[in-house]
Amino acid sequence: MSERRIAYLGSSTALDGGSELCLLRMVRHFHPIHRITLFLPDDGPLFQKAREEGIDCVNLNFLRLRKHRGWNWARWWSSMRKARKRLEVECRQRGVELLHFNDFIDLPYYSVAKRLRIPSVTHLRLIISNPSARTLYRSAIRNAGCTVLPVSQAVLKNMIEGDIRIPTKVLYDPAPDSSHFHPKSQPRDPGPFRLTMVSKLLENKGHLNFLEVAHALEKRSPDRYSYTLVAPPSPGRENYEQRVRQSFARLPLDRSRWIGGAGHEALGQILRESDLLIHLPDTEDSFPGVVLEAMSCGTPVLAYRCGGIPEQLDQGAAGILVEPGNLNGVVEEVERLSSNEDLQQDIASQGLKRIQTEFSAERHFMELTAIYEGLLGE
């Protein structure tokens, strides 16, 4: 593919979420190949990191799409209108040939590509439960003529719902950086069977489900398990954090640890030290990155059968799936797995195999390049 002018837009500059990390990874990959511009809402960590690496970054200075009310809604509307106008001007000046939006929350800017008469694509990384919001999204996509890249078949099914007027291509997120997330090189240390959960402190992520399972295991098999909760704080969720901490405090002090946040290198090590990652979200999880991270580390995964998780775990062949809400079933599966080393090794092996085939970075970027070529007429 010859050099083209491609612009990316993201509505968050945090570097502690999967969406932002995927955006940075895309920009890094295509930066040596094409003339890349990255449009962001502020000069936060993602902006600074990309600029340090020589990427052309533009701060559009806008608020992200949220459930704004009152004066905050007016502030968002004003910032969005100004940013949309500037995005159009900056794209014209740079001769941008294709716009790539990073997620659903970039929806207010989809129309810019149509006005510029250039092709556009958008990743779709979430499943929305509100039918009205899904209808609004599909309408906006049809009007903008944007090609949608759902990150899983579950996202496609729930969000697009068979609308043949919307061009789509399911594109799985790639496996994480192997320099941080790689298989264990040492046999496990003797001691309690180590259970781990990793997720920001958001109500829908299921921290209380994990802790309820932990308390049930303590009643049934005292001293057999240890528990690690990696739970970075989330602004505005202080009440929820307090509830999680109160439940966590009831676990045995010598076999439980709370980690408020971990960089990639530290998280990779935590997952390699774990015997099982447990992921029990309360909503449809589109394609959780932590599941791929655990699989890359050779750590078995037990999760709810929801969202895109069954696609990651090959419908249960590369992990253990339990029906959502069945915490008793989770407890039983933990006890079954912890008593069967052959099963642990088989699941770890199957997970690594899928990482190397279905979710390889090489495959991901080959498919994305083919999408670009189709839209740009190459």
CB count in 10 Å sphere of residue 85: 12
Which amino acid appears at position 236 of this protein?
Answer: G
DSSP 219-259: HHSTTSEEEEEE----TT-HHHHHHHHHHHTTS-GGGEEEE
- Is 23 buried (19+), middle (13-18) or exposed (0-12) by CB count in 10 A? buried
| Distance from C-alpha of 62 to C-alpha of 40, rounded to nearest angstrom | 8
Q: Which pLDDT tens digit goes with each residue over 341-365?
A: 999 999 999 999 999 999 999 999 9
Domains and CATH numbers, the chain: 5-174+360-376 (3.40.50.2000), 193-357 (3.40.50.2000)
CB count in 10 Å sphere of residue 100: 29
Q: What is the pLDDT of residue 378?
A: 65
- Is 88 buried (19+), middle (13-18) or exposed (0-12) by CB count in 10 A? middle
Q: What is the pLDDT of residue 368?
A: 97
Q: What is the pLDDT of residue 188?
A: 74
Q: What is the pLDDT of residue 292?
A: 97
Helices (H), the chain: 18-30, 45-52, 70-94, 110-116, 131-144, 153-155, 207-220, 238-248, 264-273, 289-296, 309-312, 327-338, 341-357, 361-376
Q: Taking the complete model, does pTM exceed 0.75, yes or no? A: yes
Tell me which H or E stretch contains 9.
strand 5-9
CB count in 10 Å sphere of residue 296: 25
Q: How far is CA 203 from CA 87, 139, 315, 378, in A?
A: 34, 29, 26, 45
Q: How far is CA 181 from CA 85, 100, 269, 274, 359, in A?
A: 41, 27, 8, 13, 14
Q: What is the pLDDT of residue 141?
A: 93
Sites in the chain below the pLDDT cut of 50:
none
